[in-house]
Amino acid sequence: MKKIMLFAAVLLTAGYASAQVSYQLGFIATAEESTTSIGAISTTSKNNYSGFMVGADYNINLAGGLNVAPGLEMEFSLDKRTDALNNDIKYKEFDLLVPVDFNYGFDLGQALKLYVFAGPTFDLGLMSKIEDNDQFDHGKKRFDILLGPGVWVDINDLIRVKAGYKWGMLDLFDNDNTTWKRNRLTLSVGYIF
């Protein structure tokens, strides 16, 4: 038992010694698609909106150029539009996300390093409100899992420029006749410690 605990401590220490913490601020663009089926009739609607994110991650070296970057992000989105019946629709969303991105780094010279990443992001919706003529829709589920790839570039081990796209895996609507899925593009700039 002591040997196992010593081995675990060595692995953790090695990971922490080569870990990088980064803080990011960025732009998010979200694309939602809902499909409602009643009998043989099916209708699909799409919605695009944007917002901003703040986050931090901790990139831990596993072996060679292979790393894992668990993180924590907060995202806030707003949208306002008028529908076909001239009704005003307002949308607000606030989410807490936990990305776990496995990544591999490539040196591009002395000042640049390119990383490609992929992994899951666990999304907990803290607040989601759709207001349609003062009627609120509370049928949206609060939890989603997103999967997808991305890239980032580290400049002088100080600045990180990152882009990623993730697809929502779960149906977000609490209705047997409707499926509602969400995909998200994120562009961010970060500072590395």
139 backbone φψ class: left, alpha, beta (φ>0; ψ -120 to 50): alpha
Residue 30 neighbours by CB under 8 Å, 6+ apart:
48, 49, 50, 51, 77, 182, 183, 184, 185
Cα–Cα distance for residue pair 104/153, rounded to 1 Å: 11
Which option is the CATH number for 19-192: 2.40.160.20, 3.30.70.100, 2.40.160.40, 3.20.20.80? 2.40.160.20
pLDDT at 58: 96
pLDDT at 94: 94
pLDDT at 14: 45
H/E/C letters for each residue in 95-118? EEEEEEEEEEEEECCCCEEEEEEE
Residue 111 neighbours by CB under 8 Å, 6+ apart:
155, 156
Give the chain's residues under pLDDT 70: 1-18, 83-84, 132-139
pLDDT at 11: 44
pLDDT at 135: 47
Q: Are 182 and 144 in contact (CB under 8 A)?
A: yes
- Residue position matching structure tokens 């790839």: 149
Residue 5 neighbours by CB under 8 Å, 6+ apart:
none
Q: Are 124 and 142 in contact (CB under 8 A)?
A: yes
